[in-house]
Structures are given as structure tokens and as C-alpha cells.
Amino acid sequence: ALNLKPNGSGIDLSWPSQPDRLFTLFSSEDLRNWNPVPEVEKMPGGAGETTIEVSPAEGTPRLFWKIKPSLPMER
């Protein structure tokens, strides 16, 4: 589950995390077209909960967010 919490300058997004997973955050303005957020693309997970701050661009009417876990590629 992705949790959102406004802070003074943006939004804190948090989710349950695991050290053996990579996480990619996606955003959408219409729930049809999803784009990865470059700063959170294949981000390594940690123990417990991961929290990041995002700052939507001014003038964006609304944004939807989703997080997708994946397994790292084995070498």
C-alpha cells in the first residue's frame, strides 16, 4: 500500500519495503498513461518502510501514484 502525506513543500510517499526488491514509482494524470518517476526507478528497497518526497509541478491539476516492486536481476 502506498501512503501519501502532504508536507509543507510537497508530498511524502511511503510504502512497505524489502531489501531484496527494487521499487519503481509511477505517476499518472488520467489513470491510463503511467510514467516512471526517474528518481525512483529501480530504487533498492530497505528494511521496514521507505519514504520519499515528491514535488508535483505547479499547475498539475491532479496526480495518481503507484509503486511496483521487482526482483533484481541475478548475475
Residue-wise pLDDT for 11-68, tens only, equals 999 999 999 999 999 999 999 999 999 889 999 998 999 999 988 777 777 889 999 9
Q: What is the pLDDT at residue 75?
A: 46
Average pLDDT over residues 4-14: 90
Q: Give the Cα separation of 51 and 47 in Å (integer).
A: 12
Answer positive or negative: Cα dihedral of 54, 60, 66, 67: negative
- The predicted structure's pLDDT at residue 74: 52
State pTM to two decimals.
0.84
